[in-house]
Structure 1
Amino acid sequence: MGDRVRRTGSPGNAAIAAVTVCALCAGAVLLRDGRGDAPPQPSAAQAHSELDAHGPARSSAPALPPSPPDRVRIPAIGVDAPLTGLGLTPAGSLDVPPADRPDLAGWYEAGTTPGERGTAIVAGHVDNADGPAVFYSLGALRKGSTIEVDRHDGTVAVFTVDAVEAYDARDFPDAKVYGAAARPELRVITCGAGYSPTTGYRGNVVVYAHLTGTR
């Protein structure tokens, strides 16, 4: 991922400065070096729609008490990754997992925990100098897919994907992505939205999901 994540909205998220997600794309060299294909990007059909806003997918499971997450699984794209806590950089942007750990994703530990009421944030690299990383296929995720988060208290928070969208860094919708939510919601973020050989990925892929079950 190449830029840094920016957050506004809920009390925990409001601490993140308005700086686009760029550090997540810092290791993006596949296209530049001609050693791989571009990661998949979401189609217009996976974006939010008026039908989604009023359909049955808007129902939500009861919120869980706070508990740190240990692992994230997205079966549809083969993700099964440990989670590490992320803080803020000196500039106030969200830090990112180490670029040399392509298998690792992170969550913003000063904000909402996944399954708790509010907006929880998970972020990870799309690739690094050696090839694809944990969220390389995130743009291929489709509405209705399942995201599971193992929590430290032994519960598993099960989320259903509402939308998958890509944004240019200049048009990143901070309030929509990071804003407060009345129900348990999850955002999963990586780099995407096209690629420039000189500046890297142009923006971000964002998955929107909400809690639909617990086990």
Structure 2
Amino acid sequence: MKNRSGPQAGGAPSRRVPSVRALACTTLLGILLLAHVPDGDGSRPTTKARASTLPARSAAGAERDRPAPRPLPASDAARLRIPAIAVDVPLIPLELDGAGALRPPPATAPTVAGWYADGTAPGAVGTAVVAGHVDTPLGPAVFHRLDSLSRGAAIEVERVDGRTARFTVTAVELHPKDRFPEDKVYGGSGRPELRLITCGGEWSSDTGYAANTVVYATLTGTR
């Protein structure tokens, strides 16, 4: 698959889109790296496969009925909070490597998530991307319970400018890494959106995780 670049929805400047290969999971660490099998001891991570599409919560309907909030200007992201799965962690900037793959947070920092800093800022018009480990050799990591989220769950991103973007989960899906829907995950809709991405599905000592868990969320409030 070739890398893509192009304008974000709403006429924002052109930005590089991460290669889908950046979302293929390694055999040992369960993180977001290029699709290859690294050296490792073959020990099995703790995450197991779960349902490909998770059930809806009726609370999502109330969020959809609210007027759309005004998008925020660009600003670096600082912190991620997901109360439903007890996530309250700092965000670090992530960038692409020379092959167009997203460099993941360090495996030595399992409680840190990262946002694609050359892409859309959380709360601005476009699709912001946040990535994190599902597990590491140290044990369960920041997104270990990401696939347990349901529609209507709240996600907050605290920004460097002092503003907070509040998103509401609209879907949680499991995408096989060999059929990853790049346009659906990265594509803009003309409004502020957020994607949280980690590894998921069945795990093999030969090929690693078979899929990626993707949380889709839309901006529903700011403060």
The TM-score normalised by the length of structure 2 is 0.81
Which runs of 5 or more residues in structure 2 are unaligned? 9-13, 32-41
1:189–1:18 Cα change, 3 Å: closer
Moved more, 162-171 or 87-96: 87-96
Aligned to 2:24, the other structure's residue is in SS state coil
1:33 aligns with 2:43: yes
Task: Look up the match of 1:19.
Answer: 21
The residue correspondences of 1:11-90 to structure 2 (distance < 5 A) are: 11-14=14-17, 16-22=18-24, 26-28=28-30, 33=43, 36=46, 38-39=47-48, 41-42=50-51, 44-46=53-55, 56=64, 60-90=68-98
- 2:160 pairs with 1:152: yes
Q: 1:160 to 1:135 in 2, by over 3 A?
A: same
Deviation track 1:50-80 (CA, whole Å, cap 9, x = no partner) reads xx89x93685321011111100000000111
Distance of aligned partners of 1:211 and 1:24 in 2 relative to their CA distance in 1, 3 Å threshold: farther
| In 1: Cα distance, 2:51 partner to 2:65 partner | 19
1:139 aligns with 2:147: yes
Deviation at 1:17, TM superposition (A): 3.0
Q: CA deviation at 1:94?
A: 1.1
5+ residue gaps, structure 1, are 1-5
Name the SS for the 2:74 alignment partner: coil
Q: Does the 8 Å CA contact 1:85/1:106 hold for their aligned counterparts? A: yes
Judge conservation of contact 2:54–2:148 (CA < 8 Å) in 1.
Answer: no
Change (3 A) 1:8 1:42: farther
> What is the aligned-residue RMSD (CA, Å)?
2.6
Q: Deviations over 1:14-49 (max 9, x none)?
A: 3x33425135765139xx63574x3563453448xx
1:153-168 counterparts in 2 under 5 A? 153-168=161-176
Partner AA of 1:19 in structure 2: R
2:183 is the counterpart of 1:175: yes
Structure 1 window deviating more from structure 2 (58-67 vs 88-97): it is: 58-67
Deviations 1:139-176 (A, max 9, x none): 00010000000001111110000000001111100000
- Per-residue displacement from partner, 1:106-146 (whole Å, max 9, x unpaired)? 00000100000100000000000010010000000010000
SS of the residue aligned with 2:178? Answer: helix
Aligned partners of 1:107 and 1:123 also within 8 Å: yes
What amino acid sits opposite 1:79 in the alignment? V
For normalisation by structure 1, the TM-score amounts to 0.84
Cα distance change of structure 1 residues 34 and 132 upon mapping to structure 2, 3 Å threshold: same
Distance of 2:5 and 2:181 partners within structure 1: 10
Change (3 A) 1:197 1:18: closer
Greater strand fraction, Structure 1 or Structure 2: 2
What is the match of residue 203 of structure 2?
195
- State the percentage of identical aligned residues: 47
Name the CA distance, whole Å, in 2 between partners of 1:187 and 1:171.
Answer: 17
The AA in structure 2 aligned to 1:33 is: S
